[in-house]
Amino acid sequence: MTSTTIHNAMTIDVEDYFQVSAFAPHIPRDSWPSLPCRVEANIDRILGLLDEQGIKATFFTLGWIAERYPAMVRDIVDRGHELASHGYGHERASDLTEAQFRDDIGRSKRILEDISGQEVKGYRAPSFSIGTGNLWALDVLYSEGYRYSSSIYPVQHDHYGMPDAPRFAFYPKSEDGLLELPITTVRLMNRNLPAGGGGYFRFFPYAVSRWLMQQVNERDGQPAIFYFHPWEIDTGQPRQQNIGLKTRFRHYVNLHRTEARLQALTRDFKWGRMDHIFLAKQ
């Protein structure tokens, strides 16, 4: 167990394997209803893992998923976790007009709240797709009743990223407005290194991820925000055959190691929900 007493935010982006942005050119959206869904079984395994360590987490959930698996959504909430929005159909915010974005986040919020009976306070854009070119999306989120966003990743990446954004929680406009909670990075050699999970957690040895998070807790004195997807623990998911080598590598690398690494992560750090960690002082 690390010596820190800081609670970090454990977050799960609830989407299925065929909904990832990198597969969008290869898997038509209108084929989704006919594809075998695996999200229920994967979420059940994740809930069991969290229960073992007494951890409460935040589940950023697609409205499309929630409509089809309302019992799963209620189970998440009944176990004491926070339910938040990942949009409706996993469309990148940067691909939507303001009107389309408003419809997407409003629809998702209503679906999740109707199913759970609880207020949905948080939102995470698919593929961290809020950045320099569409910061207007943060104003739309606030006007639709969201209290925080976790949609900006302050790194340089070929699909997303806003490397000059603040590394830790900040108010883009005013302290009575929307709170932005960037995915965790470590500042090293004048660069922000990704330290918040996802594909990096699978690619690097676990010791690297642990060290990076320790830097954030012990050197910066800040809570880290970690994320992963249900499909990242699923070695039995259908394999896509028509994708490029880079996409194949990013999606499938070390899937067989993810669950054991998550178990180690839950033991080595203290964890909590996004709202309890970042909104409690408001």
Element housing 227 (H / E): strand 225-228
Confidence of residue 155 (pLDDT cuts 50, 70, 90): confident
pLDDT by residue (tens digit) across 188-217? 888 999 999 999 999 999 999 999 999 999
The phi and psi torsions of 3 (rounded to 5 degrees) equal -75, -10
d(CA 85, CA 93): 13
The pLDDT value given to residue 189? 85
The pLDDT value given to residue 37? 96
Mean pLDDT on 126-143: 95
Asked if pLDDT for residue 172 goes beyond 80, the answer is yes
Asked if pLDDT for residue 2 goes beyond 50, the answer is no
Identify any residues that bridge with 187 across adjacent strands, giving them in sequence order.
Answer: 192
pLDDT by residue (tens digit) across 84-126? 999 999 999 999 999 999 999 999 999 999 999 999 999 999 9
Element housing 250 (H / E): helix 245-252
Residue whose tokens read 């209108």 = 30
Identify any residues that bridge with 271 across adjacent strands, giving them in sequence order.
Answer: 8
Cβ proximity of 262 and 42 under 8 Å: no
Nearest residue to 197 via CA among 149, 142, 120, 266: 266
Fold held by 7-279: TIM Barrel (3.20.20)
Torsion sign over Cα 64, 97, 60, 268: positive
How does DSSP assign 105-136, residue by residue?
A: HHHHHHHHHHHHSS---EE--GGG--SGGGTH
The pLDDT value given to residue 281? 65
Cβ proximity of 6 and 268 under 8 Å: no
* Contacting residues for 139 by C-beta, under 8 A, at least 6 apart: 173, 178
Q: Which amino acid is at 29?
A: R
Mean pLDDT on 71-89: 98
Token pair belonging to 57: 């987490």
Whole-structure pTM value:
0.95
The pLDDT value given to residue 3? 45
The pLDDT value given to residue 4? 53
Confidence of residue 156 (pLDDT cuts 50, 70, 90): confident
Cβ proximity of 81 and 46 under 8 Å: no
Q: What is the percent of the chain where pLDDT is above 90?
A: 90
Cβ proximity of 204 and 214 under 8 Å: no
What distances in angstroms separate CA 108 from CA 24, 87, 144, 146, 269, one per listed residue?
Answer: 20, 5, 11, 11, 31
pLDDT, mean over the chain: 94
Nearest residue to 210 via CA among 251, 267, 252: 267
